[in-house]
Amino acid sequence: MKLCMVGTGYVGLVSGACFAETGQTVVCADIDPKKIQVLNEGGIPIFEPGLDAIVDRNVEQGRLSFTSDVPAAIREATAVFCAVGTPPRADGGADLSAVDAVAKTVAENCQREMVLVLKSTVPVGTNARVRRIVKDAPFPIHVVSNPEFLKEGDAVGDFLRPDRIVVGCDADDAFAKQIMSRLYHPVSLDKDRIVWMDPASAELTKYVSNTMLAMRISFMNEIALLCERVGADIHAVRFGVGSDDRIGPKFLYAGPGYGGSCFPKDVKALVHTGRDHGLELELAATTDRVNDRQKGVLFRKLKSHFTDLRGKRIAIWGVSFKPKTDDIREAPALTLIDALLADGAEVVAHDPEAEENAKKLYGDRIRFVEKAYEAAEGADALCLLTEWRQYQNPDFERLKSSMRHPLLLDGRNIWSSYGLRAQGFTYDGIGVQST
Protein backbone atom coordinates (compact mmCIF):
# COMPACT_ATOMS: atom_id res chain seq x y z
CA MET A 1 0.00 0.00 0.00
CA LYS A 2 1.29 3.41 -0.97
CA LEU A 3 0.68 6.33 1.33
CA CYS A 4 0.62 10.03 0.47
CA MET A 5 1.12 12.65 3.17
CA VAL A 6 -0.07 16.06 1.97
CA GLY A 7 1.71 18.77 3.94
CA THR A 8 5.33 18.65 5.09
CA GLY A 9 5.02 20.77 8.19
CA TYR A 10 5.52 19.45 11.66
CA VAL A 11 2.68 16.91 11.66
CA GLY A 12 3.06 15.76 8.07
CA LEU A 13 6.82 15.31 8.07
CA VAL A 14 6.96 13.50 11.40
CA SER A 15 3.99 11.26 10.56
CA GLY A 16 5.21 10.50 7.05
CA ALA A 17 8.73 9.64 8.20
CA CYS A 18 7.45 7.46 11.03
CA PHE A 19 5.03 5.58 8.77
CA ALA A 20 8.00 4.89 6.49
CA GLU A 21 9.94 3.68 9.53
CA THR A 22 7.24 1.03 10.04
CA GLY A 23 7.70 -0.23 6.47
CA GLN A 24 5.18 1.81 4.48
CA THR A 25 6.07 3.41 1.18
CA VAL A 26 5.38 7.10 1.77
CA VAL A 27 5.43 10.15 -0.48
CA CYS A 28 5.33 13.47 1.35
CA ALA A 29 3.84 16.10 -0.93
CA ASP A 30 3.66 19.86 -0.55
CA ILE A 31 2.68 22.75 -2.82
CA ASP A 32 5.69 24.71 -1.52
CA PRO A 33 8.58 23.79 -3.85
CA LYS A 34 11.14 25.39 -1.51
CA LYS A 35 10.22 22.97 1.30
CA ILE A 36 10.49 20.03 -1.07
CA GLN A 37 13.83 21.25 -2.39
CA VAL A 38 15.23 21.46 1.13
CA LEU A 39 14.00 17.94 1.92
CA ASN A 40 15.31 16.48 -1.34
CA GLU A 41 18.69 18.05 -0.62
CA GLY A 42 18.85 16.28 2.74
CA GLY A 43 17.72 19.17 4.93
CA ILE A 44 15.10 19.13 7.66
CA PRO A 45 13.05 22.37 7.88
CA ILE A 46 12.14 21.84 11.56
CA PHE A 47 14.08 20.81 14.64
CA GLU A 48 12.74 17.62 16.18
CA PRO A 49 15.05 15.22 18.05
CA GLY A 50 15.61 11.99 16.15
CA LEU A 51 13.68 13.02 13.05
CA ASP A 52 16.72 13.64 10.85
CA ALA A 53 18.01 10.09 11.36
CA ILE A 54 14.62 8.53 10.52
CA VAL A 55 14.24 10.68 7.41
CA ASP A 56 17.76 9.91 6.18
CA ARG A 57 17.41 6.18 6.79
CA ASN A 58 14.08 5.82 5.02
CA VAL A 59 15.05 8.02 2.07
CA GLU A 60 18.18 5.90 1.62
CA GLN A 61 16.13 2.69 1.72
CA GLY A 62 13.59 3.99 -0.76
CA ARG A 63 10.56 4.07 1.53
CA LEU A 64 10.32 7.85 1.84
CA SER A 65 10.34 10.50 -0.88
CA PHE A 66 9.28 14.10 -1.38
CA THR A 67 7.51 15.87 -4.23
CA SER A 68 5.75 19.13 -5.05
CA ASP A 69 3.54 17.30 -7.60
CA VAL A 70 0.65 16.70 -5.21
CA PRO A 71 -1.80 15.32 -7.82
CA ALA A 72 0.73 12.73 -8.98
CA ALA A 73 1.37 11.56 -5.42
CA ILE A 74 -2.37 11.23 -4.82
CA ARG A 75 -2.88 9.17 -7.98
CA GLU A 76 -0.46 6.53 -6.68
CA ALA A 77 -1.90 6.30 -3.16
CA THR A 78 -4.43 4.08 -1.45
CA ALA A 79 -4.39 6.27 1.68
CA VAL A 80 -3.96 10.04 1.60
CA PHE A 81 -3.31 11.92 4.83
CA CYS A 82 -4.26 15.58 4.98
CA ALA A 83 -1.74 17.28 7.27
CA VAL A 84 -2.01 20.89 6.16
CA GLY A 85 -2.29 23.87 8.46
CA THR A 86 -5.55 25.15 9.90
CA PRO A 87 -4.48 28.55 11.26
CA PRO A 88 -6.85 30.59 13.41
CA ARG A 89 -9.00 33.24 11.82
CA ALA A 90 -9.51 36.61 13.45
CA ASP A 91 -12.66 35.31 15.18
CA GLY A 92 -10.82 32.29 16.64
CA GLY A 93 -12.28 29.76 14.20
CA ALA A 94 -10.09 27.53 12.06
CA ASP A 95 -9.21 28.45 8.49
CA LEU A 96 -10.10 25.33 6.50
CA SER A 97 -9.14 26.61 3.05
CA ALA A 98 -6.10 24.34 2.80
CA VAL A 99 -8.14 21.30 3.90
CA ASP A 100 -10.77 22.10 1.28
CA ALA A 101 -8.06 22.38 -1.38
CA VAL A 102 -6.63 18.98 -0.46
CA ALA A 103 -10.09 17.38 -0.59
CA LYS A 104 -10.74 18.83 -4.05
CA THR A 105 -7.35 17.66 -5.33
CA VAL A 106 -7.97 14.15 -3.97
CA ALA A 107 -11.41 13.99 -5.60
CA GLU A 108 -9.98 15.08 -8.94
CA ASN A 109 -7.02 12.68 -8.92
CA CYS A 110 -8.02 9.47 -7.11
CA GLN A 111 -7.45 6.37 -9.24
CA ARG A 112 -8.93 3.72 -6.94
CA GLU A 113 -11.07 3.25 -3.87
CA MET A 114 -9.14 4.99 -1.13
CA VAL A 115 -9.10 6.51 2.32
CA LEU A 116 -8.69 10.25 2.93
CA VAL A 117 -7.44 10.73 6.48
CA LEU A 118 -7.86 14.11 8.15
CA LYS A 119 -4.72 14.46 10.28
CA SER A 120 -4.99 18.22 10.62
CA THR A 121 -6.64 19.63 13.71
CA VAL A 122 -10.11 20.58 12.48
CA PRO A 123 -13.39 21.64 14.09
CA VAL A 124 -16.42 19.41 14.46
CA GLY A 125 -18.18 19.02 11.15
CA THR A 126 -15.07 19.04 8.96
CA ASN A 127 -15.32 15.33 8.18
CA ALA A 128 -18.87 15.87 6.91
CA ARG A 129 -17.71 18.97 5.03
CA VAL A 130 -14.95 17.01 3.26
CA ARG A 131 -17.34 14.17 2.41
CA ARG A 132 -19.50 16.66 0.54
CA ILE A 133 -16.47 17.85 -1.42
CA VAL A 134 -15.39 14.34 -2.51
CA LYS A 135 -18.80 12.74 -3.01
CA ASP A 136 -18.69 12.98 -6.83
CA ALA A 137 -15.20 11.49 -7.22
CA PRO A 138 -14.90 8.67 -9.79
CA PHE A 139 -13.99 6.17 -7.04
CA PRO A 140 -15.25 5.79 -3.46
CA ILE A 141 -13.35 7.99 -0.99
CA HIS A 142 -13.70 7.02 2.67
CA VAL A 143 -13.14 10.07 4.88
CA VAL A 144 -11.58 9.32 8.28
CA SER A 145 -10.74 11.63 11.18
CA ASN A 146 -7.41 10.80 12.84
CA PRO A 147 -6.22 13.75 14.94
CA GLU A 148 -2.57 13.84 15.93
CA PHE A 149 -1.35 13.96 19.53
CA LEU A 150 2.35 14.56 18.95
CA LYS A 151 4.30 16.63 21.46
CA GLU A 152 6.96 18.84 19.93
CA GLY A 153 10.30 17.64 21.19
CA ASP A 154 9.05 14.08 21.68
CA ALA A 155 7.07 13.59 18.47
CA VAL A 156 8.97 10.60 17.10
CA GLY A 157 8.50 8.64 20.32
CA ASP A 158 4.85 9.70 20.56
CA PHE A 159 4.18 8.36 17.07
CA LEU A 160 6.08 5.09 17.42
CA ARG A 161 4.96 4.46 21.01
CA PRO A 162 1.51 6.05 21.26
CA ASP A 163 -0.69 5.84 24.32
CA ARG A 164 -3.77 5.92 22.05
CA ILE A 165 -4.70 6.40 18.41
CA VAL A 166 -8.01 8.15 17.87
CA VAL A 167 -9.81 7.16 14.67
CA GLY A 168 -13.20 8.51 13.70
CA CYS A 169 -15.14 6.72 10.97
CA ASP A 170 -18.54 5.18 10.32
CA ALA A 171 -19.14 2.07 12.38
CA ASP A 172 -19.97 0.03 9.27
CA ASP A 173 -17.06 1.27 7.14
CA ALA A 174 -15.11 -1.98 6.88
CA PHE A 175 -12.78 -0.65 4.18
CA ALA A 176 -11.61 2.33 6.22
CA LYS A 177 -11.23 0.24 9.37
CA GLN A 178 -9.11 -2.31 7.54
CA ILE A 179 -6.79 0.35 6.11
CA MET A 180 -6.37 2.22 9.39
CA SER A 181 -5.84 -0.98 11.37
CA ARG A 182 -3.12 -2.06 8.97
CA LEU A 183 -1.36 1.30 9.00
CA TYR A 184 -1.18 1.44 12.78
CA HIS A 185 -0.61 -2.27 13.42
CA PRO A 186 3.19 -1.92 13.80
CA VAL A 187 2.79 0.52 16.69
CA SER A 188 0.05 -1.54 18.35
CA LEU A 189 1.72 -4.95 18.58
CA ASP A 190 1.55 -5.23 22.37
CA LYS A 191 -2.09 -4.09 22.51
CA ASP A 192 -4.67 -2.49 20.26
CA ARG A 193 -4.22 1.24 20.77
CA ILE A 194 -6.86 2.39 18.31
CA VAL A 195 -9.83 4.10 19.95
CA TRP A 196 -12.66 3.86 17.43
CA MET A 197 -15.40 6.47 17.45
CA ASP A 198 -17.59 8.51 15.14
CA PRO A 199 -15.93 11.34 13.18
CA ALA A 200 -17.51 14.20 15.16
CA SER A 201 -16.33 12.70 18.45
CA ALA A 202 -12.82 12.25 17.07
CA GLU A 203 -12.70 15.86 15.93
CA LEU A 204 -13.88 17.09 19.30
CA THR A 205 -11.54 14.82 21.25
CA LYS A 206 -8.48 16.67 20.00
CA TYR A 207 -9.78 20.07 21.04
CA VAL A 208 -11.04 18.82 24.39
CA SER A 209 -7.73 17.09 25.21
CA ASN A 210 -5.63 20.17 24.52
CA THR A 211 -8.05 22.51 26.26
CA MET A 212 -8.16 20.34 29.39
CA LEU A 213 -4.35 20.34 29.57
CA ALA A 214 -4.30 24.09 29.00
CA MET A 215 -6.81 24.50 31.85
CA ARG A 216 -4.48 22.68 34.24
CA ILE A 217 -1.62 24.99 33.30
CA SER A 218 -3.68 28.18 33.62
CA PHE A 219 -5.17 27.06 36.92
CA MET A 220 -1.76 26.36 38.43
CA ASN A 221 -0.49 29.70 37.14
CA GLU A 222 -3.32 31.42 39.00
CA ILE A 223 -2.52 29.43 42.12
CA ALA A 224 1.15 30.42 41.80
CA LEU A 225 0.12 34.08 41.93
CA LEU A 226 -1.96 33.30 45.01
CA CYS A 227 1.06 31.57 46.58
CA GLU A 228 3.02 34.81 46.25
CA ARG A 229 0.27 36.71 48.08
CA VAL A 230 -0.21 34.26 50.96
CA GLY A 231 3.36 33.04 51.43
CA ALA A 232 2.86 29.51 50.12
CA ASP A 233 5.17 27.65 47.72
CA ILE A 234 3.81 26.42 44.40
CA HIS A 235 6.24 23.48 44.42
CA ALA A 236 4.77 22.16 47.67
CA VAL A 237 1.25 22.74 46.40
CA ARG A 238 2.07 20.97 43.14
CA PHE A 239 3.45 17.93 44.95
CA GLY A 240 0.52 17.83 47.30
CA VAL A 241 -2.07 18.09 44.54
CA GLY A 242 -0.25 15.85 42.07
CA SER A 243 0.06 13.01 44.58
CA ASP A 244 -3.71 12.57 44.39
CA ASP A 245 -4.24 9.65 42.00
CA ARG A 246 -7.38 11.32 40.69
CA ILE A 247 -5.34 14.30 39.50
CA GLY A 248 -1.78 13.11 38.81
CA PRO A 249 1.42 15.16 38.50
CA LYS A 250 1.43 16.20 34.84
CA PHE A 251 0.82 19.73 33.57
CA LEU A 252 0.88 21.23 37.05
CA TYR A 253 3.99 23.37 36.62
CA ALA A 254 3.68 27.12 37.03
CA GLY A 255 5.34 29.26 34.41
CA PRO A 256 5.00 32.25 32.08
CA GLY A 257 2.02 30.79 30.21
CA TYR A 258 1.64 28.19 27.50
CA GLY A 259 2.47 28.71 23.84
CA GLY A 260 3.11 26.67 20.71
CA SER A 261 1.01 25.80 17.71
CA CYS A 262 -1.64 23.75 19.53
CA PHE A 263 -2.86 24.95 22.91
CA PRO A 264 -3.56 28.63 22.09
CA LYS A 265 -5.16 27.84 18.74
CA ASP A 266 -7.18 24.86 19.92
CA VAL A 267 -8.58 26.56 23.03
CA LYS A 268 -9.77 29.47 20.91
CA ALA A 269 -11.22 27.09 18.31
CA LEU A 270 -13.16 25.16 20.95
CA VAL A 271 -14.61 28.39 22.32
CA HIS A 272 -15.57 29.41 18.78
CA THR A 273 -17.21 26.03 18.15
CA GLY A 274 -19.32 26.47 21.25
CA ARG A 275 -20.44 29.92 20.19
CA ASP A 276 -21.30 28.64 16.72
CA HIS A 277 -23.74 26.33 18.43
CA GLY A 278 -25.15 28.86 20.88
CA LEU A 279 -23.05 27.76 23.85
CA GLU A 280 -20.54 29.80 25.84
CA LEU A 281 -17.76 27.50 27.06
CA GLU A 282 -16.83 29.67 29.99
CA LEU A 283 -14.03 27.54 31.44
CA ALA A 284 -12.27 27.34 28.07
CA ALA A 285 -12.68 31.07 27.45
CA THR A 286 -11.32 31.89 30.90
CA THR A 287 -8.37 29.56 30.34
CA ASP A 288 -7.45 31.59 27.28
CA ARG A 289 -7.76 34.92 29.14
CA VAL A 290 -5.71 33.69 32.11
CA ASN A 291 -2.96 32.54 29.78
CA ASP A 292 -2.84 35.88 27.97
CA ARG A 293 -2.44 37.61 31.32
CA GLN A 294 0.20 35.14 32.53
CA LYS A 295 2.41 35.79 29.52
CA GLY A 296 3.05 39.24 30.95
CA VAL A 297 4.14 37.99 34.37
CA LEU A 298 7.91 38.39 33.89
CA PHE A 299 7.54 41.87 32.43
CA ARG A 300 5.44 42.91 35.42
CA LYS A 301 8.11 41.51 37.74
CA LEU A 302 10.80 43.45 35.88
CA LYS A 303 8.79 46.63 36.26
CA SER A 304 8.60 46.00 40.00
CA HIS A 305 12.41 45.98 40.12
CA PHE A 306 13.05 48.90 37.74
CA THR A 307 10.92 52.02 37.63
CA ASP A 308 12.25 52.70 34.13
CA LEU A 309 13.43 50.02 31.70
CA ARG A 310 14.65 52.51 29.11
CA GLY A 311 18.26 51.67 28.28
CA LYS A 312 18.33 48.61 30.54
CA ARG A 313 19.98 45.52 29.09
CA ILE A 314 17.77 42.46 29.61
CA ALA A 315 19.15 39.00 28.86
CA ILE A 316 16.78 36.25 27.80
CA TRP A 317 17.55 32.54 27.94
CA GLY A 318 15.16 30.58 25.78
CA VAL A 319 12.90 31.87 23.01
CA SER A 320 11.15 28.68 21.87
CA PHE A 321 7.86 27.93 23.58
CA LYS A 322 9.32 24.76 25.12
CA PRO A 323 12.61 22.82 25.08
CA LYS A 324 13.62 20.47 22.26
CA THR A 325 11.95 22.50 19.53
CA ASP A 326 12.69 25.58 17.42
CA ASP A 327 9.01 26.57 17.40
CA ILE A 328 8.42 30.12 18.63
CA ARG A 329 4.71 30.33 17.80
CA GLU A 330 2.84 31.98 20.69
CA ALA A 331 5.95 31.62 22.84
CA PRO A 332 5.83 33.56 26.15
CA ALA A 333 9.28 34.93 25.31
CA LEU A 334 7.79 36.90 22.43
CA THR A 335 5.35 38.68 24.75
CA LEU A 336 8.23 39.66 27.02
CA ILE A 337 10.46 40.79 24.15
CA ASP A 338 7.70 42.89 22.61
CA ALA A 339 7.01 44.62 25.93
CA LEU A 340 10.71 45.24 26.57
CA LEU A 341 11.26 46.77 23.14
CA ALA A 342 8.18 48.96 23.56
CA ASP A 343 9.65 50.23 26.84
CA GLY A 344 13.01 51.02 25.28
CA ALA A 345 15.04 48.18 26.78
CA GLU A 346 17.95 46.48 25.03
CA VAL A 347 17.31 42.76 24.55
CA VAL A 348 20.10 40.18 24.25
CA ALA A 349 18.91 36.60 23.73
CA HIS A 350 20.15 33.04 23.45
CA ASP A 351 18.36 29.88 22.36
CA PRO A 352 20.01 26.62 21.22
CA GLU A 353 17.61 26.07 18.32
CA ALA A 354 15.14 28.93 17.83
CA GLU A 355 17.54 31.73 16.90
CA GLU A 356 16.84 31.66 13.16
CA ASN A 357 13.07 31.70 13.61
CA ALA A 358 13.33 34.58 16.06
CA LYS A 359 15.61 36.54 13.73
CA LYS A 360 12.98 36.27 11.00
CA LEU A 361 10.55 37.96 13.38
CA TYR A 362 12.75 40.58 15.02
CA GLY A 363 15.61 41.18 12.62
CA ASP A 364 18.21 43.39 14.27
CA ARG A 365 15.83 44.77 16.92
CA ILE A 366 17.27 42.26 19.38
CA ARG A 367 20.75 40.80 19.55
CA PHE A 368 21.35 37.07 19.52
CA VAL A 369 24.56 35.57 20.87
CA GLU A 370 26.14 32.19 20.23
CA LYS A 371 26.83 31.33 23.86
CA ALA A 372 24.39 31.63 26.74
CA TYR A 373 26.82 33.40 29.06
CA GLU A 374 27.43 36.13 26.46
CA ALA A 375 23.81 37.22 26.86
CA ALA A 376 24.35 37.88 30.58
CA GLU A 377 27.43 40.09 30.13
CA GLY A 378 26.60 43.58 31.36
CA ALA A 379 22.93 42.64 31.79
CA ASP A 380 20.67 44.34 34.28
CA ALA A 381 18.56 41.20 34.54
CA LEU A 382 18.51 37.64 33.22
CA CYS A 383 15.12 36.14 32.39
CA LEU A 384 14.75 32.38 31.95
CA LEU A 385 11.85 31.59 29.61
CA THR A 386 12.61 28.07 28.32
CA GLU A 387 14.00 25.29 30.48
CA TRP A 388 16.60 23.91 28.07
CA ARG A 389 18.92 21.47 29.87
CA GLN A 390 21.96 23.70 29.43
CA TYR A 391 20.23 26.43 31.45
CA GLN A 392 19.23 24.26 34.37
CA ASN A 393 22.45 24.31 36.40
CA PRO A 394 24.67 27.13 35.16
CA ASP A 395 27.79 28.65 36.73
CA PHE A 396 26.11 31.21 38.96
CA GLU A 397 29.37 32.77 40.10
CA ARG A 398 30.21 33.47 36.48
CA LEU A 399 26.77 34.99 35.96
CA LYS A 400 27.05 37.23 39.02
CA SER A 401 30.49 38.49 38.05
CA SER A 402 29.44 39.32 34.49
CA MET A 403 26.04 40.95 35.13
CA ARG A 404 25.60 44.63 35.91
CA HIS A 405 22.85 43.75 38.38
CA PRO A 406 22.55 40.16 39.69
CA LEU A 407 18.81 39.95 39.09
CA LEU A 408 17.43 36.56 38.02
CA LEU A 409 13.84 36.13 36.89
CA ASP A 410 13.16 32.41 36.74
CA GLY A 411 10.09 31.83 34.59
CA ARG A 412 10.29 28.05 35.07
CA ASN A 413 11.20 27.84 38.77
CA ILE A 414 14.14 25.56 38.05
CA TRP A 415 16.59 27.58 40.18
CA SER A 416 14.36 28.06 43.21
CA SER A 417 16.14 25.50 45.41
CA TYR A 418 19.69 26.73 44.74
CA GLY A 419 19.88 29.28 47.56
CA LEU A 420 20.57 32.10 45.13
CA ARG A 421 19.52 34.92 47.44
CA ALA A 422 22.11 33.75 49.95
CA GLN A 423 24.67 33.89 47.11
CA GLY A 424 24.01 37.57 46.50
CA PHE A 425 21.39 37.36 43.75
CA THR A 426 18.04 39.03 43.63
CA TYR A 427 15.93 36.03 42.70
CA ASP A 428 12.31 36.08 41.56
CA GLY A 429 10.41 32.97 40.48
CA ILE A 430 6.71 32.34 40.00
CA GLY A 431 4.90 31.38 43.18
CA VAL A 432 7.97 29.98 44.94
CA GLN A 433 9.48 30.60 48.35
CA SER A 434 13.24 30.52 47.85
CA THR A 435 16.30 31.42 49.87
Question: What's the confidence (pLDDT) of residue 183?
Answer: 97
Please compute the mean of the pLDDT values over residues 163-171 and round it to a whole number. 96
CATH architecture classification, 295-428? 3-Layer(aba) Sandwich (3.40)
> Could you give the residue range(s) of every CATH 3.40.50.720 domain in the chain?
2-197, 295-428
Is 262 catalytic? The answer is: yes
Does 434 score more than 80 pLDDT? no
Q: What is the mean pLDDT of residues 111-132?
A: 96
435: pLDDT confidence band, cut at 50, 70 and 90? low
pLDDT (tens digit, 9 = 90+) per residue, 309-344? 999 999 999 999 999 999 999 999 999 999 999 999
**Residue 302: which pLDDT band, with cuts at 50, 70 and 90?**
very high
Give the mean model confidence (pLDDT) for residues 110-137: 96
pLDDT of 92 > 90? The answer is: no
pLDDT of residue 261: 86
CATH of domain 2-197: 3.40.50.720
Secondary structure of the chain as H, E, C letters: CEEEEECCCHHHHHHHHHHHHCCCEEEEECCCHHHHHHHHCCCCCCCCCCHHHHHHHHHHCCCEEEECCHHHHHHCCCEEEECCCCCECCCCCECCHHHHHHHHHHHHHCCCCEEEEECCCCCCCHHHHHHHHHCCCCCCEEEEECCCCCCCCCHHHHHHCCCCEEEECCCCCHHHHHHHHHHHHHHCCCCCCEEEECHHHHHHHHHHHHHHHHHHHHHHHHHHHHHHHHCCCHHHHHHHHHCCCCCCCCCCCCCCCCCCCCHHHHHHHHHHHHHHCCCCCHHHHHHHHHHHHHCCHHHHHHHHHCCCCCCCEEEEECCCCCCCCCCCCCCHHHHHHHHHHHCCCEEEEECCCCHHHHHHHHCCCCEECCCHHHHHCCCCEEEECCCCHHHCCCCHHHHHHHCCCCEEEECCCCCCCCCCCCCCCEEECCCCCCC
Average pLDDT over residues 154-162: 95
List, for residues 202-212, the tens digit of each pLDDT value: 999 999 999 99
Instruction: Please identify which of the residues 4, 227, 262, 383 carries the catalytic annotation.
Output: 262
Q: Residue 307: pLDDT above 90?
A: no
**CA nearest to 82, candidates 36, 144, 175:** 144
Instruction: Give 13-48 pLDDT, tens digit per residue.
Output: 999 999 999 999 999 999 999 999 999 999 999 999
* Global pTM value: 0.92
* pLDDT tens digits along 372-381: 999 999 999 9
Mean per-residue pLDDT of the chain? 96
CATH 1.10.1040.10 domain locations along the chain: 206-293
Predicted local distance difference test score (pLDDT) of residue 170? 95
In percent, the amount of the chain with pLDDT more than 90 equals 95
243-257 pLDDT per residue, tens: 999 999 999 999 999
Q: What does the pLDDT look like over 398-419, one tens digit per residue?
A: 999 999 999 999 999 999 999 9
Least confident of 22-26, 186-190, 234-238: 186-190
pLDDT score for 134: 98
The pLDDT confidence band at residue 355, using thresholds 50, 70 and 90, is very high
Residue 304 pLDDT exceeds 90: yes
CATH code matching the domain that covers 206-293, chosen among 1.10.1040.10, 1.10.220.150, 3.90.1110.10, 3.40.190.10: 1.10.1040.10
